[in-house]
Amino acid sequence: MGKEEEDAWVVMKTARAPSNIAVIKYWGKRDEKLILPINSSISVTLDPEHLSATTTVAASPAFERDRLWLNGKEVSVEGERYRNCLREMRARATDVVIESSGKVITKEVWSTLHIHIASENNFPTAAGLASSAAGFACLVYSLAQLMNVKEKYEGELTAIARLGSGSACRSLYGGFVKWNMGQEADGKDSIATQLAEQSHWEDLVIIIAVVSSRQKETSSTSGMQESVKTSPLLKYRAEEMVPKRIGQMEKAIKSMDFAEFARITCADSNQFHATCLDTSPPIFYLNDSSRRLIGLVERWNRHAGEPQVAYTFDAGPNAVMFAKNKEVAVQLLKRLLYQFPPSAEADLSRYDYLGHS
């Protein structure tokens, strides 16, 4: 009876977190367990209307174990990444008052409660559109709401999201975000910080061309392990190239210098894919449709005399493109639809028109 009352209650929170696209790429870990990168990275957060994860987390004494549903399908929550996030969040839980009953869930109770997690993406999973970034950012954010977690230092939650998926740490902020690789062994300083609100650069328009929604053959995790192990060019890139580019990109964003932003974004995307090709065995994420998109943009920019559009590709064939302004974005969509008619066999099947969040 008393037990039944105990079991009766359940608390839950729902949150949504956007995906993000790196313009200075993250590829390679120096610590697999703590997910510490070999270089810093910079990203733009996408519009949650188009690319986001929505996660509901619930806690109840009636739950006998932690459980997880991704896009409606139950999957194991025993993976180290989920365990680490849950452990770190439980450790930071504080008193929560249940409004209906006035009952207080104390830190001690949180440590005994099991969590049910249900998460959904509104875009293809594992197709190089940073689904895991949105997913883990959303998990950490919703648990923070549920457990009333307060950050002891700025970016503390991003460091926990990082334990789930490196790039997830960049999805906890909107606009332009930098993930500082950090130096400390425990990863405390490997956190994300916001460089600028999206409102800082309103003209910028993001267009996503989904070349293929198939899941990628090589996961980012194993891909970057192979690259770190076998690509001498990746080591050189991380140590010599990226530090320079991070500074240049921060400056370009601060000054809204689209030409410079586009130059660095395209060059860094191509250099990232170059290090994948330098991996043994080589990793290919771009396909012939991706290359046609690149050709289209490069010809356009050359013809225009200065960059109008930038492209970047993560670990998949899908392009994220940045248009200088709305007029250019409309032109870009026209050209994409002309070059890749949805009917044609070219598997460029969908476009998304996004402002970024």
Site for a second copy in 185-204 (CB under 8 A): none
196/332 with CB nearer a second copy: 332
Helix axes 258-277, 288-304, angle to 10 degrees: 150
The number of angstroms, rounded, from the C-alpha of 303 to the middle of its chain's C-alpha atoms is: 33
Query: Which of 94, 111, 287, 325 touches a second copy (CB under 8 A)?
Result: 287
Helix axes 131-147, 156-164, angle to 10 degrees: 130
117 in Cβ contact with 104 (< 8 Å): no
Judge if the upstream peptide bond of residue 18 is cis by omega within 30 degrees of 0. no
Q: Could you say whether residue 278 binds a second copy (CB under 8 A)? A: yes
Three-state SS at 147: helix
Length of the chain: 357
Query: Which of 102, 240, 303, 338 touches a second copy (CB under 8 A)?
Result: 240
114/335 with CB nearer a second copy: 335
Given the rule CB under 8 A, which of 18-26, 36-44, 124-132, 272-280 is the region that contacts a second copy?
272-280
Query: Which of 75, 277, 333, 346 touches a second copy (CB under 8 A)?
Result: 277
Q: Could you say whether residue 288 binds a second copy (CB under 8 A)? A: yes
The number of angstroms, rounded, from the C-alpha of 89 to the middle of its chain's C-alpha atoms is: 20
d(CA 130, CA 141): 17
Q: Could you say whether residue 214 binds a second copy (CB under 8 A)? A: no
The two structure tokens encoding residue 354: 């996004």
39/279 with CB nearer a second copy: 279
Beta-bridge partner residues of 116: 58, 67
Q: Could you say whether residue 266 binds a second copy (CB under 8 A)? A: yes
d(CA 28, CA 311): 21
Query: Which of 219, 255, 280, 349 touches a second copy (CB under 8 A)?
Result: 280
Q: Could you say whether residue 271 binds a second copy (CB under 8 A)? A: yes
d(CA 212, CA 48): 20
Please give the angle made by the CA atoms of 213, 219 and 223, to the nearest 5 degrees.
135
Please give the angle made by the CA atoms of 280, 281 and 283, to the nearest 5 degrees.
105
291/334 with CB nearer a second copy: 291
Site for a second copy in 81-110 (CB under 8 A): none
Query: Which of 39, 121, 275, 308 touches a second copy (CB under 8 A)?
Result: 275
Query: Which of 98, 236, 255, 325 touches a second copy (CB under 8 A)?
Result: 236
Instruction: For residue 188, give the H/E element and its range.
Output: none
Shortest distance (Å) from residue 309 CB to a second copy = 13
Query: Which of 302, 306, 326, 334 touches a second copy (CB under 8 A)?
Result: 302
Shortest distance (Å) from residue 236 CB to a second copy = 5
195/276 with CB nearer a second copy: 276
Q: Could you say whether residue 233 binds a second copy (CB under 8 A)? A: yes
d(CA 42, CA 96): 35
Instruction: For residue 10, give the H/E element and its range.
Output: none
Measured between alpha carbons, how far apart are the two ends of the chain, in Å?
49
Which string of x and - marks every residue 112-141 that binds a second copy (by CB under 8 A)?
------------------------------
Can you give the binding site for a second copy, defined by CB under 8 A? Answer: 232-233, 236-237, 240-241, 263, 266-267, 270-271, 273-275, 277-282, 284, 287-288, 291, 294, 298, 302
